[in-house]
Amino acid sequence: MGLVQRLEREWYAGGPLAEALRPLGTLTCALAGWRRRHRRGRAGALPSLVVGNLTVGGNGKTPLTLAIGHRLQGWGVAVAVVSRGHGAHPPTLPYRVPADDSPARAGDEPLLLAQTLPVYLSPRRHAGIAAAAAAGFRWALLDDGFQHLALKPDLRLLVFAGTRPLGNGRCLPAGPLREPICAAEQADAVLLDDRVGHLPLSPSVPQFRYRLQVVGAHRLGDPEQRVDPRQWCGQRFSAVTGIARPERFLDTLNNLGVEAELYAFADHHAFRPKDLEDIPRPLVMTAKDAVKCGGFAGPDDWVLQTEAEPEPAFWEWLHSAIMARS
* Cis, peptide link before residue 103, omega less than 30° from 0: no
Q: Could you report the per-residue pLDDT of 18-48, keeping only the tens digit for each?
A: 999 999 999 999 999 999 999 989 999 999 9
From residue 214, give the alpha-carbon distance in Å to each of 13, 251, 301, 309: 28, 12, 17, 10
Choice between 53 and 3, residue whose per-residue pLDDT is larger = 53
Mean pLDDT of the chain: 94
Q: What angle do CA 172, 183, 242 make, to 5 degrees?
A: 45
Q: What pLDDT score does 9 carry?
A: 87
Would you say residue 143 has pLDDT above 90? no
Q: What pLDDT score does 319 carry?
A: 98
Q: Which of 19, 5, 2, 3 is nearest to 169 (CA)?
A: 19
Would you say residue 3 has pLDDT above 90? no
User: Which DSSP string corresponds to 243-268?
Assistant: SS-HHHHHHHHHHTT-EEEEEE--TT
Q: Could you report the per-residue pLDDT of 161-194, keeping only the tens digit for each?
A: 988 999 999 999 999 999 999 999 999 999 999 8
Phi/psi of residue 62, nearest 5 degrees = -65, -50
The arithmetic mean of pLDDT across residues 103-118, rounded, is 94
> Which residues are paired to 237 by β-bridges?
260
Would you say residue 223 has pLDDT above 70? yes
Q: Could you list the beta-strand ranges (E) of 149-298.
A: 155-160, 189-193, 207-219, 222-227, 236-241, 259-264, 283-286
Is there a contact between 305 and 218 (Cβ–Cβ < 8 Å)?
yes
* Displacement of CA 3 from its chain's centroid (Å): 23
The arithmetic mean of pLDDT across residues 281-301, rounded, is 93
Q: Which band of pLDDT confidence, cut at 50, 70 and 90, is reported for residue 87?
A: confident
In what helix (H) or strand (E) does residue 114 lie, and over which residues does it extend?
helix 108-114
- pTM for this model (two decimals): 0.93
Cβ neighbour number for residue 239 with a 10 Å cutoff = 23
